[in-house]
Structure 1
């Protein structure tokens, strides 16, 4: 029989909160081998890339970050606010590179959120786009997809033909899969008027209308002519009662394994799962495990959670992947 942690200890379980690990002063860098799903592995050969954090801070109190592809080429260079490799809070200028070594993008961050001007380049070196990210107004809440948080000032296709200049122009945006696209008009950096295109590898076509970057209405059509109207472009899955209710559920239903209690395990478990088109959490995957059965206990807890409201893309129910950090902290119960 598993014991609830609250039976033995004062249990601190906080979702979406991370704890930095203590570091040796003798260390100069923290080296992590990052897997495709964002987890960590002890084997460099099985990693997607290598991440190196320099422990000595800059004059601004930031820590230098360098990520490298398997071939040794630089993948990303920037600065972060914490020394926790699982919680990289980007700050200031961040540069990303293609596997070939050519510059992919330059962007500025404030507390891990893009701000100011972003430049993106094709692998050939041709300038692709210039966007300006806007700070949200105080108290402003934006939907899952919001076209008003950034302005597109410049866009050119892969052969250098300019489609948007000074925020204005007609544009065709190809998707990475080489099949889907979006086509429409930009005015003063924002989407305007009628847009059309396809998604989900051509299975659906859509028409939608914008006013100053905001979708006012849209309709998707599948291969047999069924139409699906919508008013929001993308809708994220939602847990009943919101994140706070999920926190309460986790605190009540996470069962700390006996082995972990004896080992006084403390740290962060990270789980990845998918919310399917019916709202069920499925396809559980362990990204980071503290051992002693702590990640398995997290999966068992999620399996007992309530059904979510599913996510939608342009009116079509879709599967959405989530990464869920669960930070565990045990302290002895104070003596009465």
Structure 2
């Protein structure tokens, strides 16, 4: 496999993350004094988000190597080669964004994957620190980018494109930026992503795009920002404990798997959407249901 060396862009961006968080905090305080109804930062929430980000960074020191090995093995298997020229990069950035859309959508629509992604939605605040609130189980994302290696994209290019997407998405986690004109039609913007992080009924499971919003427009998951977002989950966590934030949904899944229900129902609780409930034909008999609710 030809050599291609690109530094880890996320690690290089850490000083920028710190400076921008401080700058945003100062700007939010100024805007709130001027009467803007912004959620703003709190020390405990921001600390929890940063703890999740540091944990994700530490885990990815190992996991990125494992994921890279899988991409490299698939790259060796395929006869296809996209090359490393400018057009290969352009094509890859579009392909990566398409993969990200489906990764993101599946992680909302299937509870097994949601257990990993729910971490990112667990804050009731919306600011740049929210972007750092990342999963400690990034392994669920691997299958969504494996096709890029089989298409002949170099593994280093794949992980670099993933980093570019994450860096782009950092700036959309803010209330300090309004709509940005015609670019709203093409790009994922702070306005679009505020919708994604909201628990308002009309905003649920919308705007999955990473860099581009065109996939949402194409596949019917786009929703403009029309009312003030209420951030967080439909059933919020009331904790700043990083371990609970990271694993609470996995614990809930394990608890559901121990219910005295048919196997089909228990599996449904794992692989259907997070809000799925069994139909009458999948519920336990009335006496069992009464016992469970008592």
**Structure exhibiting the larger radius of gyration computed from Cα positions:** 1
Shorter-chain TM-score range: under 0.3
Greater share of helix: 2
Greater share of strand: 1
